[in-house]
Amino acid sequence: MIEITIDKDVPMRRDKKRSGSKYPFEKMDIGDSFAIPIESSDPTDVQRRLSSAARRMKSQGKNFSTRTLTEGGVRVVRIWRVE
């Protein structure tokens, strides 16, 4: 069995708070969109990250929709503000 030692008076590291999203959702009007290039062979990860970030905007009455497309020979995930 591992013996665990209790430490006292160890200062807790402060986590850096993120200042907003790295995506421009708050600046978008209905009909606006932006594209993120897909660097891997699987677009699911990029689409999941964008959808998750966009879902947080739903409480502000803003809805978004994503699609995986090929634009100029490059695969991208494009996200539109729809409401």
Phi-psi region of 21 (alpha: psi -120 to 50; beta: other; left: phi over 0): beta
- Summary mean pLDDT of the chain: 86
Q: Record the pTM.
A: 0.68
Helix (H) or strand (E) holding 28: none
- In the chain, helix, strand, coil percent, each to 5? 25, 25, 50
What pLDDT, on a 0 to 100 scale, did the predictor assign at position 80? 93
Query: Residues in the chain with pLDDT < 50?
Result: none
Q: Which pLDDT does position 53 carry in this prediction? A: 84
